[in-house]
Amino acid sequence: MDSREERKTGIDNYCRFFFRLTLNITKLQIQNLRILDSVDLSPQPGINIFCGDNGAGKTSLLEAIFLLARAKSFKKTRGKNLIQEGKEKLSVYSETQHTNHSIVRIGFGLDNNQKRIQLNGTPVSRVSEVAKLLPIGIVTPIIHRLIEEGPDNRRRFLNWGVFHVEHSYVSMMRHYSTTLQQRNASLRSGDSSWNVWDAQLIDYGDQINQLRADYFSSWKSVFQSLAASFPSVPVISFSFYKGWNKLLSLEDSLQAQVKTDLSAGFTTTGPHRADIRITVNSLPAKEILSRGQQKIVATLMVLSQLVAQKEHTNINPILLMDDFSAELDLRTTNSLLSLIDSSGFQTFLTAIDSETVTGKYSNEAKMFHVEHGAVK
């Protein structure tokens, strides 16, 4: 066994052990990330609140945690723009403590557009190896787009949910995407051998669809339970669209769409077209719900995903919430805080005014004041 195989085996063994544990970030160190010059924090297991004016660096603190878990920003930005002006590289480092008191160290670095990811000092090549160790959910000021916009965001949301309860899913998706690209290339070129890819596409596609359908059912049940605490939101209906006619098998659907696919030059049916359809009284939710209601529903979707993950893995995920109380009334803010507090998730919130997000939790939340990139 060569060193690469030994390293992978070690990481795999560690992951199997890890998933019997609960994690909390106990140390967070940041160097040269946007306005943040040098930050060293010791968060608590419960609610952590970053307060400060706009532009102070609050969101960048959440961005640092997201970089550790996903190796990219949750904002649309080029990697080099993450590095503080005048500096050549950035780094983020965390220590997570578990119920057996073991410490896991995760590091992320960016230098000359080259990403570096480390787990306990060992370089890892796939983001998924760290992502499954640091499950996170994020709510940003544009979370309403999960409802308002097209299926891409909802499909991505669904994919992350399935991944965190079934880690083989990422491999299935990788194989499916590769096969899909090859089939599409054949369709575009007019190559008559495009159908040689169908067997693999159907095999991976059916597996992906089954995992998604199973996950969707459990996730929807959690959402309905959580939503009961928010009477200001009308009854929401969710349906899983698998990406093709529910009365057909994937094989039959591919055959039925042959002429359309050849004309379009790409595959028009399959799991890559899946969606979570959201309605109120049989009408699209985006046409019925106000912006504030959309934010509540989308936030509950994320919280439900984290609860479902916890039920499947016995791991407390980490919740990030940027500009938490924007567009929410005080009652809704308090209801969400109560829900978050009872979940047991380690949570990181940003807010301009601490009073609007603490309420009865002022003695329980750990406050960090952010000013011009400095954290106190």
**Which residues are annotated as part of the binding site for ATP?**
52-59
Please name the residues in contact with 219: beta carbons below 8 A apart, sequence gap of 6 or more. Answer: 161, 304, 305, 308
Q: Please choose, from the candidates 138, 331, 309, the residue with its C-alpha nearest in 3D space to the C-alpha of residue 229.
A: 331
Please report the sign of the dihedral spanned by the C-alpha atoms of residue 230, residue 358, residue 25, residue 60: positive
Q: Please choose, from the candidates 316, 321, 346, 351, the residue with its C-alpha nearest in 3D space to the C-alpha of residue 336.
A: 321
Amino acid at 46: G
Contact 22, 98 (CB under 8 A): yes
Distances (CA, A) of 140 to 49, 202, 351: 15, 36, 12
d(CA 371, CA 36): 10
Contact 116, 109 (CB under 8 A): yes
3-state class of 54 per DSSP? coil
Tell me the sheet residues that pair with 155.
none
CA 365, chain centre distance (Å): 24
**Which residues are annotated as part of the binding site?**
52-59
Phi and psi angles of residue 309, each rounded to the nearest 5 degrees, phi first: -60, -45
Q: Residue 354 is encoded by which pair of tokens?
A: 């601490």
Q: At what angle do helices 151-165 and 291-313 cross, to 10 degrees?
A: 20
3-state class of 127 per DSSP? helix
